[in-house]
Homo-oligomer: A and B are copies of this chain.
């Protein structure tokens, strides 16, 4: 417990989610509130000062009008989010002032938490921000989604959409480690260069360079020769192009459908029917969510933390600076303006 006298209050800043987007989400759907946090703590409570706040595509899913995998995110409360921060006041024997923690306190500078809702981070083992990325929810999604649903085998061809993103860039590297030929799909020449030169993938397809789906499909076919595992973060026309290229007993992992997040979940757009390809190739599609593997975090960390420590895996971050930038940063995800994990330093 801290021996420094704590202030009676903290000057807090909070981003409230105040308007439901029907299309692209942006600052107009949030309201910045300055407030005061009373520092009085019950037993086992602490106050955390966020240092890094996460923005993730799933946030947009939870803003849809209808139930998705959760009830919709309520309006009029702080935007929920994972954060990495430091304990500033503690009334818990588990935490001391200055301890780094992972929490789920949302888009606010300060939060009062029960000690049980925080996870202590050791900066000596891995950079603390990795708890929001490669060693956190995106890493877990990538690892279990690929290994358990995708079941890659050496020599197979893995295609990853959204391959320069937080999850996709990890899936692509895990695929290489599993012995696959890996072709990433991303938007723009810079990201494609990143896939080839930084991540060391075997191929990169710029979907923005092919506005016609048939041309996009031809390019994917040219680079892959057919697809054994498709790890899909985007859906939409990229997926339209990939599915007819699946090979016998292909596995398609649905991790995200970001192409539909601007409203296409409420009122789905139309795409070509494709279930016949599942039949021809006796292929499978499986939807996965990070939450299904929460209980296996230790297993994932045991494998991946050594790769982080030895710098044998790339886990780039795009850092946006400033608490007031949070809604804008969320919007950036859907503009495809991040490479690796997008974080906001606050």
Contacts and interface: CB of A to CB of B under 8 A. Distances in A.
Interface of A: 61, 68-69, 232, 235-236, 239, 254-257, 260, 264-265, 268-289, 292
6 contacts: A68-B280, A69-B281, A239-B275, A255-B279, A257-B273, A270-B273
Contacts of A264: 273
A270 B213 CA distance: 14
A196 to B, nearest CB: 28
A264 B283 CA distance: 20
A287 B292 contact: no
A282 B288 contact: yes
Counting chain B CB atoms within 10 Å of each CB, the highest count among A232, A275, A282 belongs to A275
A144 to B, nearest CB: 11
A296 to B, nearest CB: 15
B275 A235 contact: yes
Contacts of A281: 69, 287
A342 to B, nearest CB: 20
A236 B235 CA distance: 20
Give the one of A270, A272, A285, A287 with max B CB within 10 A. A287
Contacts of A265: 276
Contact of A280 (B69, B235, B275, B280): B69
Given A282-B292, A289-B282, A254 B275 contact: yes
Contacts of A289: 279, 282
B284 A276 contact: no
Contacts of A283: 286-287
Nearest to A67: B280
B286 A284 contact: yes
Nearest to A259: B273
B268 A270 contact: no
Given A284-B285, A286-B284, A254 B271 contact: no
Nearest to A276: B257
A278 B273 contact: no
Contact of A282 (B276, B277, B286): B286
Contacts of A269: 272-273
A268 B274 contact: yes
A278 B268 CA distance: 14
A275 B270 CA distance: 12
Nearest to A232: B275
Given A270-B271, A270-B272, A279-B289, 12 more contacts: A254-B279, A257-B275, A257-B279, A270-B273, A278-B286, A278-B287, A279-B287, A280-B287, A283-B286, A284-B285, A284-B286, A284-B287
A255 to B, nearest CB: 7
A292 B260 CA distance: 35
A100 to B, nearest CB: 32
